[in-house]
Amino acid sequence: MNRELLVEWLHRPGLTQTKRLLVVLSTFERPIALQEILDRAEEAGLKRRIWSNPSASLSRTSGMAIHSAKGWEITRAGREMLANEGFSEASLGVINLATDLRNYLQRVSDPETQDYLSEAIRCYEMGLLRSAVVMSWLAAVFVLQQAIVQNHLAAFNAEARRVDAKWKDATNTDGLGRMKESDFLDRLVSIRFIGKSVKQNLKECLDRRNACGHPTSLKIGQNIVAAHIEALLLNVFARNL
C-alpha cells in the first residue's frame, strides 16, 4: 500500500482507534511489535499522543488481530472486515488467497524463498497480475529445487544423465537452474517426485509465466492469476516437500 492511500484511510472522520490500528497492521506482511505499528501510523500523520492503550485495543478485536510469540498480526477475519468497510485495494477473494500464502510464508525459513513469495503476494494484492504470475512461479521453482537438493539429488542427477549424457551433476539449486524448467518438471516425474497430472498443472503455470515474462498480446485477469497461484499453493507450497 502506498503512503498516500494509508494517509487517506487513517484520517477518515469518525474512525475508531481500533480500526486505525487494524488498518496499519494490515500493511505489514509479518508479525510485528506494537512500536512498528505506531511508527508507521506516525509516518502517516497520527501523533503518538492520540493513542490510548493501543495494545488493549488490539486485544479486544475478537480475533481480528492476535499477538503471537513473534508479535502482532492481522487475521483473515480482520482483513475481511477491512475489505467490507472499504479499507482494501483488493477483493475478498484476493485477500483470502493472499492470507493463505502468508500463512505458508510464516513457515518458510529460507530468505530467498521468502523474498520471492512475499513479492508475489504484494504484486497480487496490488493488481500487478503479470508480476504476480512471474514471482509466484519463481518461488515455486525454487521450493522444488531446494527439495531435490536436500532429499533427491542423487536420483535426479542419475535420471538427468540417462536422458542427457552431457549433463553435469548438480550440487545445489544453481546447478539445477542450468536445466530448462520444462525439462526439470519432466525429470521430477521420472523420479516419481511428482505425478503426471501435477506436472501438467505446473506446465500450464510455466507456460503462463513465460507468456507474462515477455512482451505479448496475452490478456490476463484476476481469476486467471488466482487459479495460477492456487495451483502453486496446492501442488508446491502447501505440500510437505
The count of other CB atoms within 10 Å of the CB of residue 166 is: 6
pLDDT in tens, 103-130: 777 777 778 778 888 888 878 777 788 9
Q: What is d(CA 99, CA 104) in angstroms, rounded to the nearest whole number?
A: 9
Looking at per-residue pLDDT, the higher value among 193 and 98 belongs to 193
pLDDT at 178: 96
With 70 as the cut, is the pLDDT of residue 1 above it? no
Cβ contacts of 162-166, under 8 Å, gap ≥ 24: 163/187, 163/190
pLDDT in tens, 138-148: 999 999 999 99
Is there a common fold for 3-89 and 111-237?
A: no
pLDDT at 214: 83
pLDDT at 218: 83
For domain 111-237, give the CATH number: 1.20.120.330
For domain 3-89, give the CATH number: 1.10.10.10
Domain ranges of the chain: 3-89, 111-237
Considering only CA atoms, which of 125, 170, 112 is closest in space to residue 29? 125
Q: What is d(CA 40, CA 48) in angstroms, rounded to the nearest whole number?
A: 11
The answer to whether 69 touches 30, Cβ cutoff 8 Å, is no
With 80 as the cut, is the pLDDT of residue 203 above it? yes
pLDDT at 4: 78
pLDDT at 86: 67
Torsion of CA 155, 158, 163, 169, to 10 degrees: 110
Buried/exposed code over 74-95 (b: 16+ C-beta within 10 A; e: otherwise) = bbbebbbbbbeeebbebeeebb
Give 72's strand partners.
32, 67
Confidence band for 89, pLDDT divided at 50, 70 and 90 = low
Listed range (49-53, 69-73, 217-221) with the worst mean pLDDT: 217-221
User: 513469495: which residue's cell?
Assistant: 117
The answer to whether 123 touches 131, Cβ cutoff 8 Å, is yes
With 70 as the cut, is the pLDDT of residue 94 above it? no
pLDDT in tens, 46-68: 998 999 999 999 999 999 999 99
Q: Please give the C-alpha separations between residue 226 and each of 79, 107, 203, 223, in angstroms, as whole numbers.
A: 18, 21, 16, 5
Per-chain mean pLDDT for the chain: 88
Confidence band for 207, pLDDT divided at 50, 70 and 90 = very high
Considering only CA atoms, which of 2, 238, 17, 237 is closest in space to residue 139? 237
